[in-house]
Structure 1
Amino acid sequence: MSNANAGSEGTALNDAAANVATSDTDQPSRFVVGIDLGTTNCAMAFVDTTVNDWTVETFRVPQWVDVGQIESRETLPSFHYQWTPAETTGATLPWQSTGDVPSNCVGVMARDAGSRHPGRRISSAKSWLSHDGVDRSADFLPWHGDADVARMSPVTASSRYLDHLRRAWNHANLNDPLEQQDVVITLPASFDEVARELTIQAAKEAGLGRVYLIEEPQAAFYAWIDRHRADWTESVHPGQLILVCDIGGGTTDLTLIRVQPAGDNQDQVQFHRVAVGRHLILGGDNMDLAIARLAEKKLAEQKLAEQSGGEHADAPELSPGQWDRLIQASRAVKETMLAGDRPSSYTIHLAAEGSSLLAGAVQVELSAEEVDAALLDGFFPVADLTDRPSSVQSGFREFGLPYAADPGVTRHLAEFLSNHRRSGLDDADVESADRPDLVLFNGGVMVSPAVRNRVTVSLSRWFAGPGETWQPTELSAPRLDLAVAHGAAYYAMVRRGQGVRIAANLGRSYYMQVTGEDASAGKPATAICLIPGNAEAGQRFRADEHPLQLQVGAPVQFPLWVSSTRLADRVGELVDVEPAQMSPLPPICTALVRGRRRDEEQLSVLIESELSEIGTVGMYCVDVVQGKRWKLDFDIRSTLETDRTSHEGAGESAGIVDSDTVMACATQIAQTFGENSSLKPNRVVDELQKLTETGRNAWPPSLLRELWQFLVDDQAGRRKSAAHEARWINLAGFCLRPGYGVAVDDWRVTQTWKLLHGKLAFAAPQSRTESLILWRRISGGLTATQQQQLAAPLIASLQGKTGKLETHEAGEIWRLLGSLERLSVAEKIRLGDIAIAELPRKKTEKLRPALLWALGRLGSRQPIYGPLNTAVPSAKVADWIESLIAFDLDEPSSPLAIAQLGRKTGDRYRDLDESARTKAADYLAKKSANPHFITLLTEGGNLNREEEAAVFGDSLPLGIRLARS
């Protein structure tokens, strides 16, 4: 049987990069290189194209394996580690100069040293790269890292691995540097568009210039073809369906490839990738956590038995440091106990850590049966084809990552096959299989024979007919750790016309939401299809059936959805948003700003979209009349925290004010701040309340943001007098609070920053104070850099001078500093210590409410908006609570501050130990504090609306809640 090439799923970095690779004036690179940028390990393979009978070879990567010891290994563990001073010996890697003493490393030593000092190590960067609940370009790794460790983004961490590979390659190939070779990088088939773009960005940061992408399951299948060049045609036949089940350290990736005849010749075949599963952060990391929890439970039971003779009680958890070490040990348990020749049990030895739960070194024994229950039954349970994954949130959130809600891989597989096993077939096709005849396993988890057997047995149960002993044929893959890199290198040769090609269309449909949900009328949100599932790289689409009306002069934002099941929808078709079949992406946004917004008419626009050569989505707003195009960018910053999603902005649904009233408000603001103003600034709020017939605290977010825009339109009027400026700043901050919660608030905050930061027109104390209040009110929308710029001069003004400042101004400074949740841990500790030192002083007695409020925010266990990895360590916060109890201040705000500092979260990295929380709760009970504060300390829970306002320091707009309340 022969084969025919067809289709193209390969992707170039951009048009320019593609031209570099194929230009007539440039010779093709001598080498083609495949890189597996894995969650747990990276690998690199290559082909020397000057060799006629070419083969794919593995590049052995030099790396630190211990202090002062360098070895070349087939894989580069995907870990980044910042050395301690004792580990920095001055030694260098072969490609580093003698004076270039490294402060960090990647690879084996980073992995192993990180098990001893987990707060200095970055891991799972690839999982973070695909996490749409954080700003993936922001510096927040290592998650819960040590205070003195420099943070970096998932993009930068990924680029460090690629940069190490590039330098290692260049050292071995001086005449053929990697940046001049064709490089194919692998990524999960289910990566969203932002993750794909950020992977390319990481490659650019690493200095790679001729980069292409391929999906990992396809790469794994290419590796199988390469290994069986001589006989692969004997294993596959037209009509067959191939399942690629790829489960690595961080993700589960499911792909279906259909074997189809090439034209009318039944002896020739084509491979068509016809379906891709949903993105699941579910893999070996989750299994390590399951083992660790099993071991922790047994350790706690042992401890309780020692303390109480076996009496049942709730045992305390391990400390964060012990837990980190236990997870490292659990990885070894998993690998050993899932192997074919495993022992009957495995004993974990956990080193001592002070006098906490485990006063001395301890050990716990896990039997093979216990491990099977945790791993095989927990992750590969017996399931029916009709079973579906649970939507209840997974408890596996130890590292802040949104792990799959249901760890049962077999249930995810059942759902995937139920939805897609007839993909690529029409109703008349009864010859082709609708069950997977062949299975190719890939990924570190699938090394285990027991795991592979669970999957094949499940497939047999689901698809074997009555009395049939059918089971799928497993395609052999001896080196799962290297297969993806080898397949990527093979695909690079396919791009040059050699080898067997897999045809693959997009396999996902894209939609832009154009109307919101009307729950009262039972109407779902509506979206327009922008890119169909059968799209191929390089195609452009225009949704011209439904022109949109956009107001020029204002930012616009649309939620974006993707579906791997609705593949038949046509471009321009309006469909109901069905969350069960669609997954949200970060919204796309732009600002069509040309002068004063209300002087501009609406534009009729169409949405153009294209599928680039790298498989990423480009979208444009096109003026129907003039043809002007605006690029629509993913609003990655729309969701900066781990538990806020881009499609849940409640602010827009809290009420709409009629247009006549809105324009009357615009006139009122113009009469106060416009060129021909006639009204006194202190009257503007009262007049606006009369016009809206509501108090300002009842204004919905939609009106507030309209008023903010009118204020910006007339911002020059603030320069009329100090009173005008103070009132303008006060009202602008009130209308934009809390800096997030409404679409494109980040754009509004940026505009406010440009207008005001360092640009007060008057040096009057009132203007300074109002500016402090404004920044506090919108602090949630400020970047970490902006917060640092605000904090630096204010901290300098406080050191030793708090008592010399006017009490009101000093109080607002403290409240602003407390609200800046993106400050570093070191800065928060510094400020908290200053506040503790100031609290008992008689001369700062009037400042105590502000000091307590700031302290509660600085050390809060549940930040309002800030990243969890910048929470002040629990030991330091426990010291602050001890001081507050010792001061025994008769201040109404003291109980809330203590409740914020000690509030139970269920996260061992943030929670105070039980004794500290109990002591705080007992103190509040003695002071007859609000019982809910005591509950927050002992049980955790949510803040009520009144408590939210107190923690925020102001009333909250209708419909907007604190993200982590």
Structure 2
Amino acid sequence: MTAQPKYLIGIDLGTTHTVVAYADLNKALTHDNCQIFEIEQLVAPGEVAKKPLLPSFRYHPAPGELNENDLTLPWSHLNTDPQFKLPGELPQVVIGEWARELGSKVDGRQVVSAKSWLSHPQVDRSADILPWAGAEGIEKVSPVLASASYLDHVRKAWNHGNPDAPLEQQEVIITVPASFDEGARSLTIEAAEMAGFGKVLLLEEPQAVCYDWYARQGENAQSLLAKLKLLLVCDVGGGTTDLSLIKVTEGKDQTLALTRVGVGNHLMLGGDNVDLALAHMAEQQINSAGSGTPKKLSAASLSQLIQQTRKAKELLLSDQAPESAKVTVLGSGAKLIGGSKSCLLTQSQVRKVALDGFFPEIPFEDRPNKRRSAVVEFGLPYASDPAVSKHLAEFIGQHEAACREALGLNEDDAQNPVPDAVLFNGGVFNSPTLTERSLSVLSHWRQTPILHLDNQNPDLAVAKGAVAYAKARRGAQLKIGGGSARTFFLGLNKEKGQQQAVCLLPKGTEEDQEQTLSERRFSLQLGQPVQFHLFSTTADRQFQPGEIISLSDEDLSSQAFISLPPLVAVMDSESSNATTMEVSLATTLTEVGTLKIDCVAENEATESQQRWQLEFEIRKNLSKQRDTASEQLPANFDQVTEKVSDVFGSSKKDNNPKAVKTLRADIEKLLGKRDTWEIPVLRALFDLLLEGKNRRRRSAAHERVWLNLAGYSLRPGFGYPVDDWRIQQVWSHYQHGIQFNQETPVWIEWWTFWRRAAGGLSSEQQTKLYKDISKFLNPSALTNRKLQAELKQKSYEDMVKLVATLEHLPVEDKTQTIKWLLKRLEKPSETITSWWAIGRMASRVPFHGSAHNVIDKSQVQSWLPQLLKADWKKNQQAAFAAVLMTRMSGDRARDIDDEWRNKVVEKLTMVKAPVSWIEMVQTVKELDEAETKKVFGEGLPIGLKLIQ
């Protein structure tokens, strides 16, 4: 900030709404000094109005659909200034209330739930993927840009109304779910930077709600707190369920203090799920009322219907609700009116879905079903079980020790450790019906009525609470303690197969409070990259800085401990001669909730310190960095190093020409069969081979063996720290090609190497590979004698295997390639591997690519007749291709129609295909080891599990 702030500003960047509150610093920082900033926005064509809520919706109009004059906002005349325009923004876009209305009437042009996508790690959140399942030809934006656009709109609206106090010069607090991990927090900061904000702070939403409640009580706050011991903050918004526990204790001066003692893991579960469930119900009614075979709505039409069911839900769950409400899905194009379909949702239907489906009355011992439910749409990983009640019970159970301690209950006490007070927030609790049901469930578990703390306006509480937090930072009211919601660990060597980790920062550490692991010393390598592999947990147990623990596979698979992306950095020494330095580690929780690590070296001679700082970022430039992880390698790995050096070492004099032929067998004698080599061993072997990459040109055998071992050790090209650095090291040699280009065995290993590493290649690198081999895949090559000769020499079948793995290719290139292969398969001479390649390229669930880059389901369905004609008894490759092409993803935009799904299942059953194949087509199913091997083309390294 270049000037002293005049206002404290709180922004609730919500899934459904964005809300802004503010306090004037020229006035006393009392509760009355907090106002909602009404945001100017388009509410109809050419009509601008100020509203307390800015719906977090975008609408991307078709060219010529909307008149430019109808899009005019008070600050539109400034959009010609490049510094004023949001970087990367589309030329025409509607944001806010009118965007929400337009999206409820037009298919596939509305961006929703950007916040949910911001926390979705299985897609590229900086890629242009929204609106998901958008209409054909529509321009798309990334979740980061969509989030930035809402903040950008807020900034421009504020600056228009307060030209003497620009928002970027104020003290701004943006709220995020307590369950947001470091990656999602970093992306929120990035979105704010894109929108032109200055420095911002992040605050957890449940804490914001509590700050707002405390501020509203004024002088009565302390006496009200005296009535309770443990507060549950239950925030169920449009897209997420966020849970926190806050303990009430006696602090200084006999006043009561608040300490956050527990937060829940990220749950993508909220009001949107109720709307979706109701949309499914409405869809069934619409289909059953029509004639002919019921047909599912398109993903775009379903998105439109969801906006209708949201309105119906709010109406039918309100006080004095009518008996029913009408929902309508419009047609498209020329059938806009005539193609519309409607049905009635009754009050009893909506209550049953909302209450019994999402807030059922269950015993306290019930826990969520971990199997993915049917309520999965639009590519978002919704919670496995939609019952919020079960997730509440699980959350309390996970923090049982903290609950019992706060409530004064012994371990032997039979009473359930349910908090004695609850504070509800989120749009879901605008419904008195859902609030009453939730209170009833909690009171039943507790066996006595739970105290319900009043929240008069759940839509505004978070933004107002952010302002109250800003006041608390200035000493104007009570500040909630609790510090870090998680305990952070640094991964060490494995001992007896278990991951060792040392505690860096215990849960509860306050912001800017440095923790030094003075009793633990580390040898820091200088001048080359150092890796820090981090873990975190929200568990109750109080760990001590420097404490070493063992993490089992169950700890990690159950998500009791979350594995975080590693920190990697190069440390330079003040002394040019030093290669290592003994250091201790110092850690701090930053103001935005991320972890900072300092490596501290003490210089006793000068009584000074040298520090190397690391701070978590979601993206790291690893182009010049190399993994130096101290993973425990087999005791005889030095002998492996000698064997590799004998073949690919720098000295030709000591080179044994026969050693290359036995190298793989020699390594297997030392390490065991290669399919048992764990990933640290594989990457260590690859690094040895990388040092000798230029010596692979000594002979055809050298080149073939190097490609074979290096590719096997690097597969699948990602999933382990600094793999992107490794990929860049070998990619630099791609343009040089192979030395022994007359040898077919060398060509086979060349294509196999890139197939194995394909998952780590960028889209540009994969496109380069594709351009180099596409001429061989085109059926026209069959009539070209020169290409035919090259095909034979360069191993056409291995090119086919390679192209199948290039998942980052544009959809047009993948579609063209499949058409070529289907044409070639009309001739019996074509390799049956082409069937597998077609299945892999047209798969509904990518192996390493982003889910937004799959071939459209209508195109896939046009190819299925040719696959169904094949003899699946004799040709299992064609059968498995059909499985991949019709595999259930749970995303309507990708999943094929039931008509085709049933045909594939029927034929798989007839030919007695493996039961697991049929399950993949019928249900959302994660692959087992055998299925993964068949999709990938070979087994994956032990210890590397791909999360899909």
Q: Shorter-normalised TM-score: what interval?
A: 0.7 to 0.9
TM-score (norm 2): 0.82
RMSD, aligned CA: 4.4
Residue matched to 1:284: 271
- The alignment status of 1:421 with 2:373, answered yes or no, reads no
Q: Work out whether residues 35 and 183 of structure 1, in 8 Å CA contact, stay in contact via their aligned partners in 2.
A: yes
Residue matched to 1:739: 717
TM-score (norm 1): 0.81
| Shift of residue 733, structure 1, vs aligned partner | 1.7
| Shift of residue 28, structure 1, vs aligned partner | 1.9
Structure 1: distance between partners of 2:446 and 2:181: 31
2:668 to 680, 692, 700: 692
| Shift of residue 900, structure 1, vs aligned partner | 2.9
- The alignment status of 1:561 with 2:550, answered yes or no, reads no
Q: Work out whether residues 510 and 563 of structure 1, in 8 Å CA contact, stay in contact via their aligned partners in 2.
A: no
Percent of aligned pairs with the same amino acid: 36
Residue matched to 2:727: 749
- The alignment status of 1:534 with 2:508, answered yes or no, reads yes
Q: Work out whether residues 127 and 250 of structure 1, in 8 Å CA contact, stay in contact via their aligned partners in 2.
A: yes
| Shift of residue 410, structure 1, vs aligned partner | 3.0
| Shift of residue 802, structure 1, vs aligned partner | 4.0
Q: Work out whether residues 228 and 420 of structure 2, in 8 Å CA contact, stay in contact via their aligned partners in 1.
A: no
- The alignment status of 1:490 with 2:468, answered yes or no, reads yes
> Using a 3 Å threshold, how does the CA distance of structure 1 residues 621 and 774 change in structure 2: closer, same or farther?
farther
- The alignment status of 1:191 with 2:180, answered yes or no, reads yes
Question: What are the superposed Cα offsets for residues 385-409 of structure 1, whole Å, 9 maximum, x if unpaired?
Answer: 4544444444433233333333333
| Shift of residue 859, structure 1, vs aligned partner | 1.0
Structure 2: distance between partners of 1:47 and 1:547: 48
1:293 to 248, 267, 280: 280
Q: Work out whether residues 689 and 696 of structure 1, in 8 Å CA contact, stay in contact via their aligned partners in 2.
A: no
- The alignment status of 1:712 with 2:690, answered yes or no, reads yes
Q: Work out whether residues 700 and 957 of structure 1, in 8 Å CA contact, stay in contact via their aligned partners in 2.
A: yes
Question: What are the superposed Cα offsets for residues 621-670 of structure 1, whole Å, 9 maximum, x if unpaired?
Answer: 567999876655658589xxxxxxxxxxxxx99xx97432x333322322
1:758 to 731, 735, 739: 735
Question: What are the superposed Cα offsets for residues 789-842 of structure 1, whole Å, 9 maximum, x if unpaired?
Answer: 5445655887786445321446554443321112233442343344445554x7
Residue matched to 1:96: 76
Structure 2: distance between partners of 1:486 and 1:542: 36
Structure 2: distance between partners of 1:789 and 1:204: 33
Match of 1:481, SS? Answer: helix
Match of 1:901, SS? Answer: helix
Structure 2: distance between partners of 1:301 and 1:89: 39
> Using a 3 Å threshold, how does the CA distance of structure 1 residues 697 and 438 change in structure 2: closer, same or farther?
closer
- The alignment status of 1:781 with 2:760, answered yes or no, reads yes
Map residues 498-897 of structure 1 onto 2, 5 A cutoff. 498-514=476-492, 525-547=499-521, 556=531, 558-566=533-541, 568-577=542-551, 578=555, 582-590=560-568, 606-620=584-598, 658-660=634-636, 662-677=637-652, 679=655, 684=660, 686-693=662-669, 699-718=677-696, 720=698, 724-725=702-703, 727-742=705-720, 744-753=722-731, 755-760=732-737, 762=739, 764=741, 771-791=750-770, 802-803=781-782, 804=784, 805=787, 806-808=790-792, 809=794, 812-837=798-823, 839-840=825-826, 849=832, 851-883=834-866, 893-897=877-881
Q: Work out whether residues 865 and 963 of structure 1, in 8 Å CA contact, stay in contact via their aligned partners in 2.
A: no
Question: What are the superposed Cα offsets for residues 81-123 of structure 1, whole Å, 9 maximum, x if unpaired?
Answer: 3322243533443323488582333322333333445543332
Q: Which amino acid aligns with 1:536?
A: E
Q: Work out whether residues 390 and 406 of structure 1, in 8 Å CA contact, stay in contact via their aligned partners in 2.
A: yes
| Shift of residue 40, structure 1, vs aligned partner | 0.9
User: Which region of structure 1 is more displaced relative to structure 2, 688-697 or 278-287?
Assistant: 688-697
Q: Work out whether residues 43 and 482 of structure 1, in 8 Å CA contact, stay in contact via their aligned partners in 2.
A: yes
Match of 1:659, SS? Answer: coil
| Shift of residue 73, structure 1, vs aligned partner | 2.3
**Alignment length (residue pairs):** 891
Q: Work out whether residues 326 and 345 of structure 2, in 8 Å CA contact, stay in contact via their aligned partners in 1.
A: yes
User: Which region of structure 1 is more displaced relative to structure 2, 412-421 or 797-806?
Assistant: 797-806
Larger RCO: 1 or 2 (CA < 8 Å, sep 6+): 1
> Using a 3 Å threshold, how does the CA distance of structure 1 residues 437 and 658 change in structure 2: closer, same or farther?
closer
Residue matched to 1:7: none
- The alignment status of 1:120 with 2:104, answered yes or no, reads no
Q: Which amino acid aligns with 1:492?
A: A
| Shift of residue 284, structure 1, vs aligned partner | 0.8
Match of 1:441, SS? Answer: strand
Q: Work out whether residues 491 and 535 of structure 2, in 8 Å CA contact, stay in contact via their aligned partners in 1.
A: yes
Structure 2: distance between partners of 1:781 and 1:632: 25
Residue matched to 1:8: none
| Shift of residue 852, structure 1, vs aligned partner | 3.9
Structure 2: distance between partners of 1:792 and 1:162: 41
Structure 2: distance between partners of 1:498 and 1:297: 55
- The alignment status of 1:444 with 2:390, answered yes or no, reads no
Q: Work out whether residues 184 and 489 of structure 1, in 8 Å CA contact, stay in contact via their aligned partners in 2.
A: yes
Structure 2: distance between partners of 1:934 and 1:510: 40
Q: Which amino acid aligns with 2:462?
A: V
| Shift of residue 180, structure 1, vs aligned partner | 1.3
| Shift of residue 227, structure 1, vs aligned partner | 4.0
- The alignment status of 1:247 with 2:236, answered yes or no, reads yes
Structure 1: distance between partners of 2:93 and 2:740: 47
Q: Which amino acid aligns with 2:535?
A: L
| Shift of residue 377, structure 1, vs aligned partner | 2.1
Structure 1: distance between partners of 2:471 and 2:929: 61
Structure 2: distance between partners of 1:590 and 1:80: 37
Structure 2: distance between partners of 1:342 and 1:246: 24
Match of 1:342, SS? Answer: coil
Residue matched to 2:306: 327
| Shift of residue 671, structure 1, vs aligned partner | 2.4
Match of 1:528, SS? Answer: strand
Structure 2: distance between partners of 1:354 and 1:935: 37
Residue matched to 2:95: 106
Structure 1: distance between partners of 2:315 and 2:18: 21
Q: Work out whether residues 500 and 550 of structure 2, in 8 Å CA contact, stay in contact via their aligned partners in 1.
A: yes
2:9 to 33, 38, 42: 33
> Using a 3 Å threshold, how does the CA distance of structure 1 residues 630 and 243 change in structure 2: closer, same or farther?
same
1:75 to 53, 61, 64: 53
Q: Which amino acid aligns with 1:223?
A: D
2:384 to 390, 394, 405: 405
Unaligned 5+ runs, structure 2: 81-89, 573-577, 621-629
Residue matched to 2:62: 84
Q: Which amino acid aligns with 1:28?
A: Q
Structure 2: distance between partners of 1:923 and 1:404: 33
Question: What are the superposed Cα offsets for residues 276-318 of structure 1, whole Å, 9 maximum, x if unpaired?
Answer: 3343222111222222333345556656xx779xxxxxx7654
Structure 2: distance between partners of 1:504 and 1:933: 47
Structure 2: distance between partners of 1:337 and 1:112: 19
Unaligned 5+ runs, structure 1: 1-19, 21-25, 309-314, 595-599, 639-651
Structure 2: distance between partners of 1:721 and 1:117: 63
> Using a 3 Å threshold, how does the CA distance of structure 1 residues 700 and 186 change in structure 2: closer, same or farther?
closer
| Shift of residue 211, structure 1, vs aligned partner | 1.0
Q: Work out whether residues 864 and 882 of structure 2, in 8 Å CA contact, stay in contact via their aligned partners in 1.
A: yes
